[in-house]
Chain A
Amino acid sequence: MTPPPPTRRQLAHAAAYTLLALAAVVTLFPVAWMLTVSIRPNVEVMKIPPQWIPSVFTADAYRQVLGNPRYLRTFLNSYVVSLTVTGLSLLVGALAAYALARLRFRGQRGVLMFLIVTQMFPLVLLCIPYFQVMVRIGLFDTLTALVLVYTTFTLPFCILMLRAYFAEVPREIEEAAMVDGCSRIGAIARILLPMSVPALVGSGLYTFLLAWNEFLFAVVLIESWDKRVITMTIYSLLAEFVTEWNMMMACSLLASAPLVVAFIFLQRYVVRGMTVGAIK
C-alpha cells in the first residue's frame, strides 16, 4: 500500500516550517559568524574566500579577555550599574505604578501623559545638560552618574509596564485583606507583590537589558578606563588599522550570552510585558 498523499493542511504546515527555518537561518547567520570568528586566530578572520570552519581552533581570544583585569573590570562595572538601575527602577516604579493602577487622584491623566511623553525624548538632547551638570556637581566620570541618568529612561518604562500588570491583578483580593484589618502597605506587600512576581521578573529583565546595552550616555559621561562599561569597551576594540576581531567578538559574546539565555528561558514574561500596554 502506498501512503496516502499529503493533505492540504500537511502541505501548509511543511511550508510554514520551511519558511520559518529559512528566516531563522538568515536571522541567526551573523550570530553564527560572530561565534566562529571568536574561536579563530585574528589572521584567519579576513581570508578570501572566507572560511566557515576555521583551520585553527583557539580559545586565545577568550583567554585574552577573561585573563585581563581591565576587561573584567568593565564587566563588573556593567553589572554594578545595570543591577543598581534595575533595583532602583523596580522599587520606585512599583510605588508609582501602584498609585496609577489602584488610586483615583487629581492629575492622574496628566501624570500618565507626562510618563508617556518622556519616552519620546531624544536621549541625545539630554546629553548636553547632563555633561555640564555632572561636571559641575563632581559626578563626571563616576558610575553614580550613569545610574542616575539611566534611571531617566528606565523608570517611566518600568512604571508603565508595572501599571499595566497591576491593573490586571483583581483588586478585590486586596480590598478583602484590608477589610480584614490589613493596612494598605500590608496588602501591597502580602498580596499584590507576591501575585506580581512574573511582572517584576519581566520588567526587571527588560530594564536590565536597557541599562546593559546603553552606550551614548556612557560615552559622554565616562572618561577613564577603569570606569568603562561593556559597550564602550567593545567599541574601543575597533581600531584604525588592525582590529582584534576575534577578541572583539569574544567580548561581545560574553556580554550578550547571559541576556540571550535569560530571555529565551523567561520569554513568556518579557513578551507579555512588551505587549501588555499596547494590545489593550
Chain B
Amino acid sequence: MPAAPHRSYQNLQAYTFLAPALLLLLALLVYPLGQVIRMSFFDVTPRAERWVGLENYRRLLANPAFWDAFLHTVWFTLGTVALHLGIGMALALLLHSRIDARVRNVFRGLLIVPWLFAPTVAGMIWVLILNPFGILNGFLAALGILGTSETINWLGSPSTSLLAVTAVNVWRAFPFAMVMLLAGLQAIPDELYEAAAIDGSGPLQKFRFVTLPSLRGVILTMALLDFIWTFRSFDLVYVMTGGGPVESSQVLATSIYFDAFQKFQFGYASAEAIAMLVILLAGSLVYVRRAVQE
C-alpha cells in the first residue's frame, strides 16, 4: 500500500474531481434559487422591480385559487402514489412468482413501455382516447354502459378532468413502482420464507410477516420518489387540460407557470414557487435522511 496521502491533499484531490459538477450546479441551481427567493419579495415587471416585503405571500395565502391548486395537487399525488403502490405490488408479485425467467423478462419489458413515453406524448395519446368521440366512449357504448347518443367529455367537464388526468398519470408511471418492488422482492433471502414455512405459515402470513417487513425500505423510497415527481409534475396536466376547464384540474406547477408566463406576475409566481418548494422539502425530509444514512 502506498503511504496514506496527507489529509489536505486528499481533500484537494476530491474537490478537483467534484469541481466541474459543483460549479455547474451552483451556477444553474443555487444562483437561480437565490433569485427566486429574492423576487418573491418584489413586485417584478419587465422594466422595474419594487420591494413589497411579504405582500406576495399575503396575496398568495389569501387567494382561493392557490388553495384549490394545492388541493388538486394533493389529490392528484395521493391518488397516483396509492394506485402505483397497489398496482405495482400486484404486478411485482406476479412477476416474482415462479414463472419461467424468459417469460418474466418479456412481461417486465412489455409492462415498462408506458414509462418510456414522454409525458407529453402520453398526454396526447389519452387526449385522443378520452375525446367525446374517442374510443373510450365507443367502448362504453358498445358495452351498453353509455347510450348510443350519450358521450362523456372526460377532459372537458370539471367533474371528471382531474380524475382523468390522475388516471393517465397512473398508467404512465406505474412501471417505476413495479420495477422497484420487483427488485426489492428479488433481494429477500429465500431462507426467510423457508423459516416461515417451517413455522407453518401460509402464503398470506408469509406476505404479511416476511414480504412486507422486508420491503419496508423499498416501499418508503419508492413512495417518496413518486410523491416528489408527481407533486411537481407539469407536462401531463398542461398538455391534457391546461388546468381547465374552469381551473378544475389546475395543479401547483401549472398554476405557477400561468402566473409567471401568461400573467407576467413574476414576483407573485416566485412566492408561489417557494411555497411549493417548502411543501416538497418538508414532505421529503424523511427520504433525505434515509438516503444519506445508508
List chain A positions with a Cβ less than 8 A from chain B: 9, 12-13, 16-17, 19-20, 23-24, 27-28, 30-31, 33-34, 37, 45-46, 48-50, 92-93, 95-96, 98-100, 103-106, 108-109, 111-114, 116-133, 148-149, 151-152, 155-156, 159, 175, 178-179, 184, 209, 212-216, 220, 230-231, 234-235, 237-238, 245, 248-249, 252, 255-256, 259-260, 263-264, 267, 271, 274-275, 277-280
Contacts and interface: CB of A to CB of B under 8 A. Distances in A.
Contact of A28 (B25, B28, B113, B256): B113
A55 to B, nearest CB: 15
Residue among A98, A112, A264 with max Cβ neighbours from chain B (10 Å): A264
Given A118-B29, A155-B24, A220-B261, A128 B121 contact: no
Interface in B99-120: 99, 103, 105, 107-114, 116-120
B17 A128 contact: no
Given A231-B118, A274-B180, A275-B179, A133 B32 contact: yes
A215 to B, nearest CB: 5
B138 A23 contact: no
Nearest to B221: A278
Interface of B: 1-2, 10-11, 13-15, 17-18, 20-22, 24-25, 28-29, 31-33, 35-36, 39, 91, 94-95, 97-99, 103, 105, 107-114, 116-121, 124-129, 131, 133-135, 138-139, 141-142, 171, 176, 179-180, 183-184, 187, 217-218, 221-222, 225, 228, 231-232, 234-235, 238-239, 252-253, 256-257, 260-261, 266, 269-270, 273-274, 276-277, 280-281, 284, 287-288, 291-292, 294
A152 B28 contact: yes
A154 B265 CA distance: 29
A-B residue pairs, 3 tightest by C-beta: A213-B118, A105-B14, A129-B32
A23 B183 CA distance: 19
A46 to B, nearest CB: 4
A152 B125 contact: no
30 contacts: A17-B99, A31-B114, A33-B125, A46-B133, A92-B20, A92-B24, A93-B21, A95-B18, A99-B13, A99-B14, A100-B18, A111-B22, A119-B228, A120-B280, A121-B33, A122-B232, A123-B232, A128-B266, A159-B21, A175-B1, A178-B2, A214-B118, A215-B234, A215-B235, A216-B238, A231-B121, A238-B239, A252-B117, A255-B121, A275-B179
A130 to B, nearest CB: 6
A contact patch SS? helix
A23 B91 contact: yes
B70 to A, nearest CB: 13
B25 A278 contact: no
Contacts of A108: 14
A224 to B, nearest CB: 17
B273 to A, nearest CB: 4
Contacts of B22: 96, 111
A16 B274 contact: no
A122 B14 contact: no
A40 to B, nearest CB: 12
Given A33-B125, A159-B21, A122 B273 contact: yes
Contact of A235 (B120, B142, B266): B120
A124 B171 contact: no
Given A50-B138, A178-B2, A234 B124 contact: yes
B235 A263 contact: no
Contacts of A106: 11
Nearest to B13: A103
B244 to A, nearest CB: 14
A279 B218 contact: yes
A215 B118 contact: yes
Nearest to A188: B17
Contacts of A48: 133, 138, 141
A228 B273 CA distance: 26
Contacts of A209: 116
Contacts of B13: 99, 103, 105, 184
Contacts of A28: 110, 113
A132 B165 CA distance: 31
Nearest to B276: A122
Contacts of A27: 110-111, 113-114, 171
B124 A252 contact: yes
A122 B129 CA distance: 29
A62 to B, nearest CB: 16
B111 to A, nearest CB: 6
For A17, A105, A155, A238, which residue has the most chain B Cβ atoms within 10 angstroms? A105
A133 B27 CA distance: 11
Nearest to B11: A105
B284 A120 contact: yes
A20 B14 contact: no
Given A125-B276, A279-B183, A156 B25 contact: yes
